[in-house]
């Protein structure tokens, strides 16, 4: 039998969330949800060409979801293998003679495996492997000195350096995270390693602090303090203080970085570093969907240089990138060019050739294990789909509000979905949350709102604003002229109005 799809693929199209029904929903519940969404998204209800086109896409998606879930066989296949399982010819993915109970048993097993994978992803493992190959002999040989040496007719290419690093994160509380990292390096026969432990605390929606402890065989113990603060919505500052203990004594260091968003794709940086390799650095970084450009100028001891680099991102499944850079300073000039390509779900393989004067020629091979991202690659697309759905809901929401106001019914005053950094500060709530007031009001029927036990990210007009993080839904609503408020977990069922949600105005 074919293997089940990964968690990311299974969650890519959640038909149950789209129709806002339970996974155990009956055919009558499916039909009622389908009819209501068809009335909302029917293309004939919209005259504007753009809205009509968006309505057609959502209408077709709702129709597709209902067709799959209304048929017992296709529903069983979708429950286990997701949308891609339905596209396989001949329905080979599931034996037709299997009973619904057997299918449900396997689905529950897959759910347990998904929870185990989700727990593993919370550790956020990241690692790199970098290998340096000295190829100078290909371009600059000293044949006159080695004419009598056996084998001197072949260029000598050797690995002269290697670097390996790994890090993991462990959330301790909602605001505290522990980070453990380590690295090993070797160059020209000499090597060493280091281990670092950091404790990060989010102090507010605008900033966080981090304490770092480290030790290695090449350098002594390290103690550091790092602070981050948002000064304005477009400007932030980072300060890093460090004390390096060695046989020569204590070497203090201070690094401060001031950054400002020049536009949505461009950031300017001013960096000042004192102590260990003191320097001043100015750089501008522009990152778009298809390119990454950097220009930098540094004045410092012992190195001063100017740098310009460009990277082109191909829009293919393998995420291929080609890059080139030119760096010139007191140490000489270095030209580097290379490429990298995704070779598996979490790994990237890259290679670069570096040509320098007077350094020579070297080849760098790098393998990067990417941070696990769940469904983060299509967040922008999901956001655009949600915004289109909200525009289509406006007229229906207006009629729903008029009907509810006439009967002193259920009015959604405000609703937010995402990660709430600080429940007591409304400003901080909006840091990683989205406004879902309109989508929730659209789901109100007969002064009631019922959300099933599933992720809210799949509801019409919703999307995931912080992939891989714990999320909540917070709703402020009015019923019979009285304000109510409730907050629930992402996958928690919700039924309103409720007496327990009522805000005590006397207090």
For the chain, what is the mean pLDDT?
Answer: 78
- Residue 151: the pLDDT is 52
Q: Where are the domains positioned within the chain?
A: 8-83, 123-135+158-370, 373-501
pLDDT at 226 over 50: yes
> Quick one: pLDDT band at residue 152, thresholds 50, 70, 90?
low
- Residue 312: the pLDDT is 92
pLDDT at 167 over 90: no
Average pLDDT, integer, range 166-191: 82
CATH number of 8-83: 1.10.287.110
Asked if residues 296 and 279 have their Cβ atoms less than 8 Å apart, the reply is: no
The Cα 270–Cα 237 span in angstroms is 10
> Model confidence over 334-366: pLDDT tens digits?
898 999 888 775 677 888 888 877 655 556 665
| Residue 274, SS3 per DSSP | strand
> Quick one: pLDDT band at residue 93, thresholds 50, 70, 90?
very low
> Quick one: pLDDT band at residue 13, thresholds 50, 70, 90?
low
| pTM, entire model | 0.47
pLDDT at 222 over 60: yes
Q: Which fold has domain 123-135+158-370?
A: Porin (2.40.160)
- Residue 410: the pLDDT is 93
Phi, psi at residue 148, to the nearest 5°? -95, 0
- Residue 3: the pLDDT is 37
Average pLDDT, integer, range 495-506: 81
Contacts 24+ apart (CB under 8 A), 331-335: 331/303, 331/305, 332/356, 332/357, 332/358, 332/359, 333/357, 334/359
CB contact burial 193-231 (16+ within 10 A = b; e otherwise): ebebebebebeebbbbebebebebeeebebebebebeee
- Residue 430: the pLDDT is 46
- Residue 368: the pLDDT is 47
> Quick one: pLDDT band at residue 111, thresholds 50, 70, 90?
low
- Residue 422: the pLDDT is 57
Average pLDDT, integer, range 12-34: 83
- Residue 421: the pLDDT is 65
Range among 85-99, 121-135, 264-278, 398-412 with highest mean pLDDT value: 398-412
More confident residue, 135 or 195: 195
Average pLDDT, integer, range 305-330: 88
- Residue 9: the pLDDT is 39
- Residue 414: the pLDDT is 92
- Residue 115: the pLDDT is 64
Element spanning 61, H or E: helix 49-70
- Give rounded-to-5 percent helix, strand, coil for the chain: 30, 40, 30
Residue found under tokens 């260990």: 276
- Residue 441: the pLDDT is 93
pLDDT at 309 over 60: yes
Average pLDDT, integer, range 114-125: 62
| Residue 408, SS3 per DSSP | coil
Range among 98-107, 256-265, 417-426 with highest mean pLDDT value: 256-265
More confident residue, 139 or 316: 316
> Model confidence over 41-70: pLDDT tens digits?
888 877 788 888 888 888 888 888 888 888
- Residue 388: the pLDDT is 84
> Quick one: pLDDT band at residue 401, thresholds 50, 70, 90?
very high
CA angle 217, 189, 251 (to 5 degrees): 35
Q: Which one-letter DSSP state was computed for residue 347?
A: E
Packing angle between helix 379-406 and helix 49-70, nearest 10 degrees?
90
- Residue 126: the pLDDT is 76
- Residue 41: the pLDDT is 82
């Amino acid at each position: 039998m074919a293997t089940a799809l990964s968690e990311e693929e299974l969650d890519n199209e959640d038909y149950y969330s789209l129709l806002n029904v339970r996974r155990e929903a009956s055919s009558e519940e499916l039909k009622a949800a389908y009819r209501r969404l068809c009335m909302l998204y029917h293309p004939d209800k919209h005259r504007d060409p753009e809205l009509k086109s968006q309505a057609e896409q959502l209408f077709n998606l709702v129709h597709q979801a209902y067709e799959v879930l209304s048929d017992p066989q296709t529903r069983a296949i979708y429950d286990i293998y997701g949308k891609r399982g339905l596209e396989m010819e001949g329905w080979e993915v599931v034996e037709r003679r299997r009973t619904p109970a057997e299918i449900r048993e396997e689905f529950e097993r897959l759910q347990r495996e998904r929870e185990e994978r989700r727990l593993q992803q919370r550790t956020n493992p990241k690692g790199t492997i970098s290998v340096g190959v000295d190829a100078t002999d290909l371009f600059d040989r000293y044949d006159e000195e080695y004419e009598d040496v056996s084998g001197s007719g072949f260029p000598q290419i050797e690995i002269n350096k290697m670097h390996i690093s790994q890090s993991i994160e462990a959330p301790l509380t909602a605001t505290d995270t522990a980070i453990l990292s380590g690295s090993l390096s070797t160059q020209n026969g000499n090597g060493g390693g280091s281990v670092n432990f950091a404790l990060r605390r989010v102090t507010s929606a605008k900033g966080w602090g981090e304490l770092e402890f480290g030790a290695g065989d090449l350098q002594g113990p390290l103690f550091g303090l790092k602070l981050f603060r948002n000064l304005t919505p477009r400007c932030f500052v980072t300060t890093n203080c460090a004390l390096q203990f060695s046989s020569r004594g204590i070497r203090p260091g201070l690094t401060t970085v001031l950054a400002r968003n020049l536009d949505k794709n461009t950031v300017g940086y001013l960096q000042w570093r004192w102590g260990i390799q003191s320097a001043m650095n100015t750089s501008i970084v522009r990152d778009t969907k298809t390119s990454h450009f950097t220009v930098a100028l540094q004045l410092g001891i012992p190195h001063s240089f100017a740098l310009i680099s460009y990277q082109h991102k191909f829009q293919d499944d393998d995420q291929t990138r080609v890059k080139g850079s030119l760096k010139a300073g007191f140490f000489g000039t270095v030209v580097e060019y290379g490429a990298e390509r995704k070779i598996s779900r979490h790994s990237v393989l890259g290679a670069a050739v570096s040509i320098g004067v007077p350094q020579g020629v070297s080849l760098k091979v790098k393998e990067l294990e990417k941070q696990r991202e769940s469904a983060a690659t299509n967040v922008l697309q999901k956001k655009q789909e949600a915004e289109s759905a909200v525009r289509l809901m406006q007229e229906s929401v207006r009629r729903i509000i008029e009907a509810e106001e006439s009967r002193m019914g259920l009015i959604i005053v405000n609703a937010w979905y995402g990660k709430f950094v600080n429940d007591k500060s409304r400003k901080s709530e909006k840091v990683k949350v989205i406004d879902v007031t309109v989508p929730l009001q659209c789901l109100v029927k007969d002064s009631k709102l019922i959300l099933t036990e599933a992720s809210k990210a799949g509801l019409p007009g919703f999307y995931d604003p912080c992939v891989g993080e714990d999320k909540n839904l917070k709703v402020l609503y009015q019923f019979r002229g009285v304000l109510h408020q409730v907050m629930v977990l992402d996958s928690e069922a919700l039924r309103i109005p409720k007496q327990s949600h009522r805000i005590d105005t006397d207090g």
